[in-house]
Amino acid sequence: MASPLGGIEMFNIKTAAVAAAALVASAGVAGAEKIEVTHWWTSGGEAAAVGVFADAVNASGHEWVDGAIAGGGNARPVILSRIAGGDPMGATQLNTGRDAEDLVQAGLMTDLTDLAEAEGWADFIRPSKLLDSCTYEGRIYCVPVNIHSFQWMWLNRGAYATAGVAVPTNWSEFEAAAPALRDAGITPLAVGGEAWQISGMSGVFQVALGGLDLYRAINVDKSPEAAASADMTKVFEAIAAARSMVDDGYVGRAWNDATAMVITGKAGAQIMGDWAQGEFGVAGQTAGDEYDCLPGLGVYPVLDTGGDAFYFPKPTKNADAMTAAQLEMASLLVSKQVQVDFNLAKGSLPIRGDIDLSAANDCMQKGLAILENPDNVLPSSEQAFTGDTQGQFEDLWVSFFNDPSISVEDAQARYVEIVASAD
């Protein structure tokens, strides 16, 4: 059978692979290094996915020393302060976006540019904005490993059958079905009360109820007028309405415990990023069978294309050998089979389109189809805002959700202030 690639492309790929191997070998003394890797992938689905990376690193002769820290909200500050404080790990997961921009600017991250050029990352990483998030003054300091989007709702089909109503296909149907679920003793909406979860949910309402223009005006243009608009008021009202759909135990609940409520039929649905899919996978459930997924709450089929990227802090000891090991690891993370295996377990979309995804489930196929149309691809909040601004949004959303005495008007006024001062 003829190769799908022309002869010239094949030649370029082989040449790039040889150049990359030479680069990795010349970067330092070959040897087995212990690479401490920090990340916040501790749920069942996440652990299965991170195991793919660990196996690949161990098979390369280096040793993956696992440094998992549960919960992104806890892990991120620990990771950033360790690097800033001169106690770097060998590699770390962070969100693709602005999480580490201060550390990159301070010169604390290993420069991956030569490897990226030798392997042609810019030719295959899609959407190209992912690599932009890793680039500072023309140099590349991280490697995106997946595309994750928060813009999803996950629904248990059986819960709706028990309640005697059809599985909702959009947000209005979801709201209309909520009383029937309540009557059947099922919590309509599974929520975890961590600040990032409530804030992420608000971003989903921003698209579904306010439209793509509202989302772009706030997340791209940082427009205080859009933040003050009547469309944005609808988002605050939806968050207030969501309060009445949750159970009493939501405060402090981890996201995967909320997903487990959907998996077991204790709840009808959860608004959560597509990492939730990993949990359904580990529970042996199949998209389109036990559960359904609604991108953009069934209103707008969009993805906000953030996700995860790996950074390699500059080593303070054994620098040549560790840097060589870091480059080898970066190369492995974007390699074809690792990308397929990791993303199938993680529920995320691969950062490369030139791999075989025939094993992707219905929901991943929906995601891949959405990705084809650039109009449906939005920046994630991690790409749009600094960590500081995101923290301010999170504080606002979680206080508003927890405290019904805060009026929509007051909460929106604070939101406008944050957007007006965001950089």
- Burial class from Cβ neighbours inside 10 Å (0-12, 13-18, 19+) for residue 356 reads exposed
- CB–CB of 343/333 below 8 Å? no
Which of residues 194, 279, 304, 308 is near ligand BGC by CB under 6 A?
Answer: 308
Minimum CB–partner distance for residue 192 and ligand BGC (Å): 10
Nearer to ligand BGC, 184 or 254 (CB): 254
Which of residues 38, 92, 95, 229 is near ligand BGC by CB under 6 A?
Answer: 95
Minimum CB–partner distance for residue 19 and ligand BGC (Å): 31
Nearer to ligand BGC, 95 or 202 (CB): 95
Report the C-alpha gap between 315 and 109 in whole angstroms: 9
Size of the site for ligand BGC (CB under 6 A): 9
HSE of 417 in the Cβ direction (CA atoms, 13 Å)?
8
Nearer to ligand BGC, 224 or 391 (CB): 391
Give the number of other CB atoms < 10 A from CB of residue 76: 24
Report the C-alpha gap between 65 and 33 in whole angstroms: 10
Minimum CB–partner distance for residue 306 and ligand BGC (Å): 7
Strands 135-136, 139-140: pairing kind: antiparallel
Nearer to ligand BGC, 73 or 265 (CB): 73
Question: Residues 136-155 vs ligand BGC: string with x where CB under 6 A?
Answer: ------------x-------
Nearer to ligand BGC, 47 or 408 (CB): 47
CA distances from 261 to 125, 166, 171 (A): 35, 19, 19
Residues in 15-34 that interact with ligand BGC by CB under 6 A: none
Minimum CB–partner distance for residue 420 and ligand BGC (Å): 26
For CA atoms 176, 180, 183, 187, the dihedral sign is negative
Nearer to ligand BGC, 90 or 144 (CB): 144
Minimum CB–partner distance for residue 97 and ligand BGC (Å): 10
Residues in 335-394 that interact with ligand BGC by CB under 6 A: none
Minimum CB–partner distance for residue 230 and ligand BGC (Å): 31
Question: Residues 274-303 vs ligand BGC: string with x where CB under 6 A?
Answer: -x----------------------------
- CB–CB of 350/130 below 8 Å? no
Minimum CB–partner distance for residue 71 and ligand BGC (Å): 7
Nearer to ligand BGC, 71 or 158 (CB): 71
Nearer to ligand BGC, 303 or 322 (CB): 303
Minimum CB–partner distance for residue 169 and ligand BGC (Å): 26
Binding flag, residue 46, ligand BGC (CB under 6 A): yes
Nearer to ligand BGC, 304 or 308 (CB): 308
Minimum CB–partner distance for residue 67 and ligand BGC (Å): 15
Nearer to ligand BGC, 255 or 385 (CB): 255
Residues in 211-270 that interact with ligand BGC by CB under 6 A: 255
Q: What residue number has its CB nearest to ligand BGC?
A: 275
List of residues 6+ apart from 52 with CB closer than 8 A: 338, 341, 342, 345
Residues that bind ligand BGC (CB under 6 A): 40, 46, 72, 95, 148, 255, 275, 307-308
